[in-house]
Structure 1
Amino acid sequence: MSKIYVLDTNVLLQDPYSIFSFEENEVVIPAVVLEEVDSKKRYMDEIGRNARHVSKLIDGFREIGKLHEKIPLHNGGVLRVELNHRSFHELQEIFVEKTNDNRILAVAKNLAIEEQTKENGKTVILVSKDTLVRVKADAIGLNAQDFLSDRVVDTDHIYSGFQELFVPKEVLGSFYEKGMLPLSGVSANKFFPNQFVLMKDVLGGSSSAIGIVDKSATIVKKLIFDQDHIWGIKPRNVQQTMAMEILLRSDLPLITLIGKAGTGKTLLALASGLMQTEDLGQYKKLLVARPIVPVGKDIGYLPGEKQEKLRPWMQPIYDNLEYLFNTKKPGELDAILAGMGSIEVEALTYIRGRSIPDQFIIIDEAQNLTKHEVKTILTRVGDRSKIVLMGDPEQIDHPYLDEYNNGLTYVVEKFKDQTIAGHVKLIKGERSGLAQLAANIL
């Protein structure tokens, strides 16, 4: 039996193409949703862009038929703008205020009541990204669900970039002797190019080895880099060793790192970038950028020139640079960076329209990027450049993103089978015992 899906505004603002995600069913857009979309289309951010895109999509449907009637969609479903079920009579005893959310609920509830009077009435489902709207829908007897079609992964199993493999001790010996091991003879698991393999003794012995899968995804080989430290930074755990390997590999132009606060993502990336830019001369410049998304309430406009305005937002980057350069006096880091001239700390606001060749690019807090924004960034990368995207998908400050649909997770999942990309999920915090405990229990 076909269904009727009533869409909340936030679904359209999250994904303008969500209209086409409901198969051969009826999609209903309440008139109040159009009003909310209209109020957002002047925003100069991702929400505004999506609002304008939705407006153009719906405007295009006018050429097919009348919007208040059923307009056929290419996926077999139909779309209509609902004008005749706005009565607040059914909800006035429950929700006194006629807010936009309650008006959307009223449309869905009135449709559901009408369908129940029919012999073959359809099931009415309210689709919303707003948790409380779904709670209120359930309280008045409405079916409600989250919009999940924009999720890159359906479960908590975001690609980690490595997997454990238990093998006989003689297989470990053969790997150490030959420096490689065919995967077909030791495991039936699926492996991805540049995925790490942590091999352990199947009998529980202390022997172990770390390898990386080749680009054909059929052979695991020894790591190329076996350095004690880079710029004074030494890997403290196996995942940091993996991260250092792919950060130093010149044949991997795209690197993604995910992990909780304090796992060393930023420090390892900066150290690797400084080594390859300053010491080895593989890149002309080290570019570090992060999105301008506040935690908590925004502090408003900031005085000064561009660099002075950016300093509070970029302070976490400068903190790591102060540690790497071992600076102790105020202003000492600024003098070093001015003298070097090859390190640029920038906001992602200014990246559109640029072409960035011969640079080591680090994008911090990439979990706050949308799919569109991350595509914009990756398409700016020029020839002979390397880009590192990193962040914690569990710490998102963007109102329309979550752990499963943000730009960082999107890149991790889409590029996991590509030979030019490497990825590692950092697990153990190394900032301090307190930081690790807070990340785990709070």
Structure 2
Amino acid sequence: MKKIYVLDTNVLLHDPNAIYAFEDNDVIIPAVVLEEIDTKKRNADEIGRNARYVSRLLDGLRDKGRLHDSILLDNGGTLKVELNHRSFSRMQELFGESTVDNRILAVALNYYYEEQENPNPKPVVIVSKDVLVRIKADVLGLRAEDYLNDRTVGLSDLYAGYFTLKVHPSVIDEFYSYRFLPVSAVSTYTSLYPHTFVILKDEMGSSKSALLKVNADGKKLEPLYLSNDPVWGISARNAQQRMAMELLLNDDVPLVTLTGKAGTGKTLLALAAGLMKVEDERKYKKLLIARPVVPMGKDIGYLPGEKEEKLRPWMQPVYDNLEYLFDTKKSGDIDKILAGLTSIQVEALTYIRGRSIPGQFIIIDEAQNLSRHEVKTIVSRVGEGSKIVLMGDPEQIDHPYLDATSNGLTHVVDRFKSESLSGHITLEKGERSHLAQLAADLL
């Protein structure tokens, strides 16, 4: 049976092509949604870009007919800009104030009551990324759903970049004898992608173990090439950090993704590897470190000073790690060092979009706050001879329209997991302090 889907504004601002995601069902856009989109179209950020895209998309669909009379979409569904089901009288009893959210709910509620008068009523579903709108819909007796079309696998099922396998001890002995294993030796346990790490443990219960990595063509398990020697004074403190460092220092892996909770060492490891590659080995011309500016409080425009002063609060975590790596003693020393080292650039992500970036070691911190479109824009700009590292915590998102499974970082992890040019590691053990680890786990 066909359904009627009433879309909230945030769905269209999150995915401008959402109108095509409901197959052959009826899609309703309340008129108030158009008003709200109109207020966003002048924004210079991703939300403004999506608002302008939606406006152009709806304008193009006018060629098919009058939008308020319902038009047929290419996927067999219909689209209608609703002007008539706006009565607020039924909503007045529960939600007195005529807010934008309540007006959208009123449209869905009026459709629901209208359908109940038909012999075979269509289910009416309101689609919103706003939790409170879905709760209000439930109070009204309406069916409500989150927009799930752009989600990857659940966070618990996200590719971790490594597996721990229990095998017969003869398999571990074979690896140490020949220094490699065919993937077929363990493929019965799980499917393995290029650059996947494997921890082999003795299924008989002994302490015998081995740490291996799938090679680029996905056919052999090989030992790690790097020892655990310090890199700019930083040594891996656990198996996952050692795996991450292996990927970060491998010039044949131009895309590396790192996920993990706060304190697992993502930023410090990436900066140490970048400094070695740029300053010591001269493999890359420049180390470029960037973060998206997604404020948790006041926007950047309200802070005093010039661009550099405005950006400093958002970039401070990067400077903190650089101060540790350079072992600075006084406040302001790191600024003098970076002024002398023109090969290191700390920048807000806003100022690198649109550039072509060849021959650079690029670190994008807090990448979980990027949308799919933004992360595509950034990765597709990586020039010849560059390496890009995307890292962040998918459970710590400040962007209003993203969540743990719909952000750009998890999208890249899922889509690139089988590619030989990329590698991924999920860091699990916090190394900042015991308190920091407890906070990450308990709070």
Alpha-carbon distance, 1:69 to partner:
1.7
Q: Secondary structure at the match of 1:437?
A: helix
Q: Secondary structure at the match of 1:217?
A: coil
Cα distance in 1 between the residues matched to 2:58 and 2:340: 54
Instruction: With the length of structure 1 as denominator, give the TM-score of the two structures.
Output: 0.98
* Structure 2 residue identity aligned to 1:103: R
Q: Deviations over 1:153-177 (max 9, x none)?
A: 2453111111111111121111122
1:172 counterpart = 2:172: yes
The gaps in structure 1 that reach 5 residues or longer are none
Task: Identify the residue that residue 262 of structure 2 maps to in structure 1.
Answer: 261
The gaps in structure 2 that reach 5 residues or longer are none
* Structure 1 residue identity aligned to 2:180: M
* Structure 1 residue identity aligned to 2:167: V
Task: Identify the residue that residue 377 of structure 2 maps to in structure 1.
Answer: 376
Alpha-carbon distance, 1:62 to partner:
0.7
Contact 2:212 2:222 in 1 (8 A): yes
Alpha-carbon distance, 1:232 to partner:
0.7
Q: Secondary structure at the match of 1:225?
A: coil
Task: Identify the residue that residue 162 of structure 2 maps to in structure 1.
Answer: 162
Note closer, same or farther for the CA distance 1:132–1:366 as it changes in structure 2 (3 Å cut). same
Cα distance in 2 between the residues matched to 1:33 and 1:143: 19
Instruction: With the length of structure 2 as denominator, give the TM-score of the two structures.
Output: 0.97
* Structure 2 residue identity aligned to 1:371: R
Task: Identify the residue that residue 341 of structure 2 maps to in structure 1.
Answer: 340
Cα distance in 1 between the residues matched to 2:43 and 2:187: 52
* Structure 2 residue identity aligned to 1:74: D
Cα distance in 1 between the residues matched to 2:70 and 2:305: 55
Alpha-carbon distance, 1:300 to partner:
4.6
Task: Identify the residue that residue 133 of structure 1 maps to in structure 2.
Answer: 133
Alpha-carbon distance, 1:79 to partner:
0.8
Task: Identify the residue that residue 9 of structure 2 maps to in structure 1.
Answer: 9
Q: Secondary structure at the match of 2:193?
A: coil
Cα distance in 1 between the residues matched to 2:309 and 2:374: 25
Alpha-carbon distance, 1:223 to partner:
0.7
Which one is further off, 418-427 or 78-87? 78-87
Task: Identify the residue that residue 95 of structure 2 maps to in structure 1.
Answer: 95
Alpha-carbon distance, 1:24 to partner:
1.0
Cα distance in 1 between the residues matched to 2:353 and 2:300: 25
Q: Deviations over 1:303-353 (max 9, x none)?
A: 333323322221111110111111112222222222222111111111123
Alpha-carbon distance, 1:438 to partner:
0.3
Cα distance in 2 between the residues matched to 1:297 and 1:389: 25
Task: Identify the residue that residue 109 of structure 2 maps to in structure 1.
Answer: 109
Cα distance in 2 between the residues matched to 1:128 and 1:312: 33
Q: Deviations over 1:84-127 (max 9, x none)?
A: 11111211111111111111111101101111110122111111
Cα distance in 2 between the residues matched to 1:333 and 1:374: 29
* Structure 1 residue identity aligned to 2:250: R
Q: Secondary structure at the match of 1:79?
A: strand
1:214 counterpart = 2:222: no
Note closer, same or farther for the CA distance 1:155–1:358 as it changes in structure 2 (3 Å cut). closer
* Structure 2 residue identity aligned to 1:179: R
Which one is further off, 185-194 or 364-373? 185-194
1:57 counterpart = 2:85: no
1:352 counterpart = 2:372: no
Alpha-carbon distance, 1:296 to partner:
3.3
* Aligned counterparts, 1:39-78, within 5 A: 39-78=39-78
Task: Identify the residue that residue 119 of structure 1 maps to in structure 2.
Answer: 119
Task: Identify the residue that residue 396 of structure 1 maps to in structure 2.
Answer: 397
Q: Secondary structure at the match of 1:206?
A: coil
**RMSD of the alignment, in Å?**
1.2
Cα distance in 2 between the residues matched to 1:219 and 1:14: 41
Q: Deviations over 1:204-232 (max 9, x none)?
A: 21111111112232321111111321111
Cα distance in 2 between the residues matched to 1:63 and 1:300: 40
Cα distance in 2 between the residues matched to 1:353 and 1:15: 21
Task: Identify the residue that residue 83 of structure 1 maps to in structure 2.
Answer: 83
Alpha-carbon distance, 1:128 to partner:
0.6
Cα distance in 2 between the residues matched to 1:82 and 1:330: 59
Cα distance in 1 between the residues matched to 2:306 and 2:100: 41
Note closer, same or farther for the CA distance 1:155–1:228 as it changes in structure 2 (3 Å cut). closer
Percent identity over the alignment is 64
Alpha-carbon distance, 1:423 to partner:
0.4
Q: Secondary structure at the match of 2:102?
A: helix
Alpha-carbon distance, 1:53 to partner:
0.6
1:312 counterpart = 2:313: yes
Q: Deviations over 1:112-155 (max 9, x none)?
A: 11111101221111111111111111111111111111112245
Q: Deviations over 1:29-87 (max 9, x none)?
A: 11111111111111111111111111111111110011112211111111111111111
Cα distance in 2 between the residues matched to 1:351 and 1:390: 17
Q: Secondary structure at the match of 1:63?
A: helix
Cα distance in 1 between the residues matched to 2:117 and 2:403: 38
Aligned residues: 442
* Aligned counterparts, 1:401-420, within 5 A: 401-420=402-421
Q: Secondary structure at the match of 1:62?
A: helix
Which one is further off, 122-131 or 325-334? 325-334
Cα distance in 2 between the residues matched to 1:270 and 1:89: 59
1:274 counterpart = 2:275: yes
Task: Identify the residue that residue 37 of structure 2 maps to in structure 1.
Answer: 37
